[in-house]
Amino acid sequence: MSKDMETTQQNHIELVSSEGAKTDTSPIELEKRKSVNSGEILKYSEEDDEALQAIANYNGPPLILDEATNRRLLRTIDWHLMPILCCVFGLNYLDKTTLSYASIMGLKTDLSLVGSQYSWLGSIFYIGWLVWEYPTSRLLQRLPLARYSAFCVFTWGAILAIFATVDSFAGAASIRFLLGMFEAASMPAFALLSSQWYTVREHNSRTGIWISSNGWGQIVGGLVAYGISRRLSEVEGAIAGWKLIFIVTGCFTTLIGILFFSIIPDSQLNCRWLSYHDRLLAIQRVRENEQGIGNRHFKWYQFREAFCDPLTWALFLYGVLSDIPNGGLTNFFSQLIESFGYTSQQSLLYGIPGGVVVLIACFSNGWAGDRYRNRTLIACIPMAVALIGIILIVALPVSQSGSSGYNIGRLIGYYLTQAIPATGASVLSLISSNIAGYTKKTTVAAIYLIGYCVGNIIGPQTFRSSDAPRYVPAEITILVCFVLCICDLLFINWWCRRENRRKAAVRASPGYTRTENQGLRDLSDRENPEFIYSL
């Protein structure tokens, strides 16, 4: 650990509660205000959070974070961050599902895919993601967060456009592997950005907003694919529809990567669209998280703690269990809808309402989770809706007519399964809210996303060509996974309650003393008694 450095500046930052008359006057909050307002000379080291260094070096007039200022800052942050995060995450989903659209637009024939080769194209993407997930998480800690993320967005867009040039399974597999590598940065980066800029009370709703972009991706992707399919069916000698959709989505993604680089800052400290005073206020508004905003020093004890924490493995297990269904449905939903008795073009169009379900589920789940302060239990609701959906698909018989009541019921069942991302948003928000210590947070994010990759690799393999068109083994696998996901969420809720009781006992002990600026020392959630787990 580097030698402590003492600054000569004094801290003149005053924190006024944004809750008005409803201010929490607990000993924890009073101690927090005391450390902020005391005017003491702050000591910090290189291993402390960057937020503490910024506050320690501030020498200016008092900065008042009252309710009006807090609302103004939140609006400014939302308008700059949310549109770009939503657009990128929507493209992330669209880029992955482009393969599903292409599968019924001539890709299989043009690439001469046989047997399980198409399933492997779905899995290889996540093998690339899996290989690069931990290295990219380390790079997100070591390199400027937004700049590295923007580079990955731009590069995956270029790679996606290049997919239009492949003419064999080997070429397609190589492109899919590289695509997975560069898209691996998106989810951990967005979790880190959410924890940087938003309070714990805002994590679930904001994560729900940018994950809801999966719905927009599904709606826009379905309309674009349907439009291209209809138009090219009327034009002789035109470029293959599957190639055109890769070119369009790939080029648009590169443009968004440039916007990402221009707008999203690495942290509050280098934010171009906030004044210097507002940058410090933006740090102050997330101080209640007891997490800080970032630290580029790798800490081995936090790395080890991540692997010894049961919460880490509960998150990993959810990643595996929830993404076995995701991997299968994402790559096979067009073919699944086609198996309900609809034409290829109809399957492109009929996938669109699933995107609407994603939007409704994510927004309502995000709002309810923050409103009732129990996101893990509320997240069980969309998972139960998805469970009902897969039961309909499994239980109802197949009819040759798409307009039959059975097939309409199975189609509705598919739409209900699209509530899953809402639960995933809540689980991902727990990494922002419930994991502290920057090394631990990046490590847990990587472990969770390794589970995400494992599930998505397994998922397409459950849809075997020999089981078409019914895919009964895959459907039963999805049903079992949904049940186990609900059990996992209940465990997470129980574990967080247990840890909060343990920490309350520590704080209540006679010998306990809160250390100076404890929440900005880049402590892990387990070692900081003031850290409260969100349920």
CA distance 515 to 530: 10
- Is the pLDDT at 317 greater than 90? The verdict is yes
What local confidence, expressed as pLDDT, does residue 14 receive?
38
What local confidence, expressed as pLDDT, does residue 142 receive?
85
The predicted-structure confidence for 59-105, as pLDDT tens digits, reads as follows 666 667 788 888 999 999 999 999 999 988 888 877 777 777 777 77
Mean pLDDT of the chain: 79
The predicted-structure confidence for 40-50, as pLDDT tens digits, reads as follows 444 445 555 56
CA distance 129 to 457: 10
Per-residue pLDDT, averaged over 220-233, amounts to 70
What local confidence, expressed as pLDDT, does residue 261 receive?
92
For strand 43-44 and strand 13-15, is the pairing parallel, antiparallel, or unpaired? unpaired
Query: Please, how many CA atoms are within 13 Å of residue 420, restricted to the half-sphere of its CB?
Result: 29
10 Å CB burial of residue 434 (0-12, 13-18, 19+) is: buried
Its pTM stands at 0.75
Q: How many residues does the chain have?
A: 535
The predicted-structure confidence for 109-155, as pLDDT tens digits, reads as follows 888 888 778 878 877 888 888 889 888 888 988 888 899 999 999 99
Per-residue pLDDT, averaged over 343-359, amounts to 78
CA distance 142 to 131: 18
The predicted-structure confidence for 375-434, as pLDDT tens digits, reads as follows 899 999 999 999 998 888 888 876 655 456 677 888 888 889 888 888 988 998 888 888
Report helix angle 213-232 to 67-103, nearest 10: 40
User: How does residue 335 score in pLDDT terms, banded at 50, 70 and 90?
Assistant: low
Cα 367 to the center of its chain, rounded Å: 16
Instruction: Return the amino acid letter for 314.
Output: A
User: How does residue 469 score in pLDDT terms, banded at 50, 70 and 90?
Assistant: low
What local confidence, expressed as pLDDT, does residue 518 receive?
65
CA distance 114 to 173: 14
What local confidence, expressed as pLDDT, does residue 468 receive?
67
CA distance 328 to 356: 20
- Is the pLDDT at 206 greater than 80? The verdict is yes
What local confidence, expressed as pLDDT, does residue 90 receive?
85
User: How does residue 19 score in pLDDT terms, banded at 50, 70 and 90?
Assistant: very low
% of the chain exceeding 90 in pLDDT: 19
| Tokens coding 535 | 């349920």
| Tokens coding 432 | 């922002």
User: Quick check: helix, strand or coil at residue 15?
Assistant: strand
What local confidence, expressed as pLDDT, does residue 20 receive?
35
User: How does residue 529 score in pLDDT terms, banded at 50, 70 and 90?
Assistant: confident
| Tokens coding 457 | 């690799």
Q: What residue spans define the domains of the chain?
A: 70-267+303-501
10 Å CB burial of residue 313 (0-12, 13-18, 19+) is: middle
- Is the pLDDT at 185 greater than 80? The verdict is yes
CB crowding 230-255: b at 16 or more within 10 Å, else e: eebeeeeeeebbbbbbbbbbbebbbe
Question: If we measure between CA atoms, which residue out of 207, 223, 248 comes closest to residue 89?
Answer: 207
- Is the pLDDT at 482 greater than 70? The verdict is yes
What local confidence, expressed as pLDDT, does residue 332 receive?
65
Neighbours of 155 (CB within 10 A): 19
Report helix angle 145-162 to 67-103, nearest 10: 20
Per-residue pLDDT, averaged over 268-295, amounts to 80
List Cα–Cα distances, 392 to 153, 411, 440, in angstroms.
38, 9, 41
Structural class in CATH, domain 70-267+303-501: mainly alpha
What local confidence, expressed as pLDDT, does residue 2 receive?
38
Question: Is the separation of the CB atoms in 95 and 156 below 8 Å?
Answer: yes
More confident residue, 242 or 256: 256
List Cα–Cα distances, 284 to 158, 204, 223, 268, 287, in angstroms.
39, 20, 43, 10, 5
- Is the pLDDT at 483 greater than 50? The verdict is yes
CA distance 178 to 74: 36
More confident residue, 391 or 297: 391
What local confidence, expressed as pLDDT, does residue 13 receive?
38
More confident residue, 436 or 404: 436
What local confidence, expressed as pLDDT, does residue 40 receive?
41
CA distance 170 to 130: 19
